[in-house]
Amino acid sequence: MTDMSAILDDIASAMAQETGRGRVADYIPELGKVDPGHFGIAVVSADGSMASAGDAALPFSIQSVSKVFTLALALGQQGDKCWTRVGREPSGDPFNSIVQLEADDGIPRNPLINAGAIVVSDILLAERSVDEAVEAILGFVRRAAGDEGIGVDAAVASSERDTGFRNRALAHFMRAAGNLHHDPEETLAVYFRQCAIAMSCEQLARAGRMFAFAGHTAPGSAELITPARARRVNSLMLTCGHYDGSGEFAFEVGLPGKSGVGGGILAVAPGKASIAVWSPGLNAVGNSKLGTMALEMLARETGWSVFGGL
């Protein structure tokens, strides 16, 4: 493990030298207050050991990284029925794009763009109140991370509720098309709170173990999700996890990953590691600038890639 710690220390020092750190998202005002100087990285390896560097213990807003956990939970509850309401194709459009929805009759291209994740929140609301749905999501993430301390940042959730007009447009359009089954405000109340979950890189890397290790959170533990489900979520992360930057991320990093506008990225080296990285400044397509650079370095150093080679 010392090797991994040394690699992560090198990456953190290289990132500390970077002056072009990208732009912190401020369309959710509360996110705009975060210091762009942060950088953290954490890796959980197949033997269960954790290595980390930088601000890896500091909680941040996981935002769209939450979409992989809600998807895994919804698939566990409703199985393949979910795919009648959301597709599995990359969108090639920004995360909050509205244009495709009309052409596609209110069926979002995939569950990792906003429209698709809002449908998944609606699925999780079935036979639950808003509070119960949020508790179900939090319970799942806490179990995955083995950490009961994970919660929702109330200030971020209300900041997003107060300004989430574009997400409201997506939700109301889908309701009109018959693809939301609840009051759009209730569905969005779940969605805004799931996006406002706060986690550190260390907690996020632990929560991602089920995707990296075929459904298991620790060597020899019971499955949290089935291996087939872990594989499917990984395939969606690879093709759709970075919005219209997904092709570039696959090309440069070569691992399934999901980004969020809080600057976090969860990346998965199947069978090898669950990786979380955080730096709040974003690139032009809304993915963490230094987070992506750090993952490129890590993939180069370790040789981890789902495509083979070095």
64 among known catalytic residues: yes
Q: Does 63 bind ligand GLU (CB under 6 A)?
A: yes
| Residues 279 and 267 sit within 8 Å (Cβ to Cβ) | no
Residue 64's nearest CA partner among 4, 115, 26 is 115
81 among known catalytic residues: no
Residues 93-112 binding ligand GLU (CB under 6 A) are 95-96
The CB-of-298 to ligand GLU minimum distance in angstroms stands at 22
Q: SS3 for 40?
A: strand
**How many angstroms separate the CA atoms of 293 and 291, rounded?**
5
| Among the listed residues 72, 195, 230, 295, the single contact to ligand GLU using CB under 6 A | 195
- Which residue, 192 or 213, is less far from ligand GLU as judged by CB? 192
| Residues 18 and 11 sit within 8 Å (Cβ to Cβ) | no
The CB-of-58 to ligand GLU minimum distance in angstroms stands at 18
Q: Does 200 bind ligand GLU (CB under 6 A)?
A: no
Number of H helices, E strands in the chain: 13, 10
| Residues 111 and 71 sit within 8 Å (Cβ to Cβ) | yes
Q: Does 64 bind ligand GLU (CB under 6 A)?
A: yes
261 among known catalytic residues: yes
Q: Does 90 bind ligand GLU (CB under 6 A)?
A: no
Q: How many CB atoms sit inside 10 A of residue 102's CB?
A: 10
Q: How far is Cα of residue 74 from the mean position of the Cα atoms in its chain?
A: 15
191 among known catalytic residues: yes
Q: Does 261 bind ligand GLU (CB under 6 A)?
A: yes
Catalytic, out of 261, 268, 288, 289: 261
- Which residue, 95 or 140, is less far from ligand GLU as judged by CB? 95
- Radius of gyration from C-alpha coordinates of the chain: 18
Q: Residues interacting with ligand GLU, by CB under 6 A?
A: 63-64, 95-96, 114, 160, 167, 195, 260-261, 286
Catalytic residues, by residue number, are: 64, 67, 191, 243, 261
